[in-house]
Amino acid sequence: MTTLTHTAYVSRKIIKYGGFGILALVIVYWIGGMVWMAYLTAHPPYVAPTLRFGRLPKIIFSSKEIDKSKTFNLELSNDVFPKFKDQANVYVIYRSRSVIGALEEAKKTANLFGFKSQPTEISTGIYEFEDNFSSRKLTMNVLADSFKLNYDYLKDQTLLNPENLPNKEEAISLAKAFLSSGGKLYKDLDEGTSKVTLWKIGFGTLSEVGGLTDANIIRIDFFRKQLNDNQPIVSDSLDKSSVSVLVSGSEVAAKKIVEVNYKYVNIDDSAPSTYPIKTPEVAFADMKLGYYWPAKDVTASTVTIRKVRLAYFEPITLVQFLQPVYVFEGDGEFVAYVPAVTEKYTQ
């Protein structure tokens, strides 16, 4: 007959080893969950391209002579193409559909920049504002959200020997302050990179110089912050941004900023759609057949490609989408773009 002492002894054993068993199960469950999460991280489930925008318009590059007889060789790191996903984001570009509404916004921007007069229409969607006090002109493409501010600084003798030419950091601050004053310093420009180059006015031309002591004009190029998928945005002007400001050393407020070239597209990076893209091997084959656009060409008949990367091309026309391109870089600073989205989904 079982005694109370024996029952208590057995109960303690059950509690003790049962607790160990439960703890062991919890540990096994936790380790299994960690292993499964690590596996999913290394092998995420495949998600098909969303294709929400339908067939995309083909990328339009600026008109250039393309040498289709040029020969391309490869010398890549480890002799293999870099690996990319089989799909990439495509982003919507927001543009005004109303000239009237866009013009009213442009007038507000011009007023903030110090242009108080009514504009003159140069052509459809393009208006010119004048500031008779400072002899500056502001030409705005209201549909493309682009503008050029210009002062005839090449003929201004007072700018040749500035007493207080700002240093590079001060020039960036002046340029940002000017863009901000007109509501045009968007976050991706402010948080992107700034390239500073030094220039000198001489005999009615502008030439680049190496040192601040030789300069009387400072140019700042603003490059956007990379997109959500960590890809840069490239333009048709390889070494220059589509947003640039020239800063002088003048003490006259209206002459501190002597030129602004501003071309900016409003990219909605909150809801991109994904599209299938070519492999870099296919893109390279396209380039060998002459289907590329030379961002920076060379005279050599044979070019060795040493680097391949993926980027986004900022359009030069009034299109609605920002699309990926392959960027091929080779000897002699050769650079070419090849559209990345497969032809099946472009028109």
Express each pLDDT in 8-64 by its tens digit: 655 666 665 666 667 767 777 777 667 657 655 666 777 899 999 999 999 999 888
pLDDT digits (tens, 9 = 90+) for 94-104: 876 677 788 99
pLDDT-based confidence at residue 86 (cuts at 50, 70, 90): very high
**Which of left, alpha, beta for 18 (phi over 0: left; psi -120 to 50: alpha)?**
alpha
Mean pLDDT score of the chain: 89
Of the residues 266, 281, 308, the one at which a domain ends: 266
Which residues, other chains included, contact 263 with Cβ-Cβ below 8 Å and sequence gap of 6+? 144, 146, 242, 243, 314
Number of compact structural domains in the chain = 3
Look up the domain containing 79 and give its range: 71-93+269-345
Is the same domain home to 151 and 198?
yes
Could you list the beta-strand ranges (E) of the chain.
71-74, 87-94, 120-123, 126-131, 136-141, 146-150, 193-202, 205-209, 217-223, 233-234, 243-248, 257-263, 266-276, 293-296, 302-313, 321-330, 334-339
Of the residues 223, 245, 266, the one at which a domain ends: 266
Would 59 be classed as within a structural domain?
no
Of the residues 231, 266, 301, the one at which a domain ends: 266
CA separation (Å) from 232 to 19, 188, 321?
Answer: 56, 11, 15
What's the whole-number mean pLDDT along residues 118-131?
A: 94
Residue with tokens 């500035």: 162
What pLDDT is recorded for position 16? Answer: 58
pLDDT digits (tens, 9 = 90+) for 138-161: 999 988 889 999 999 999 999 999
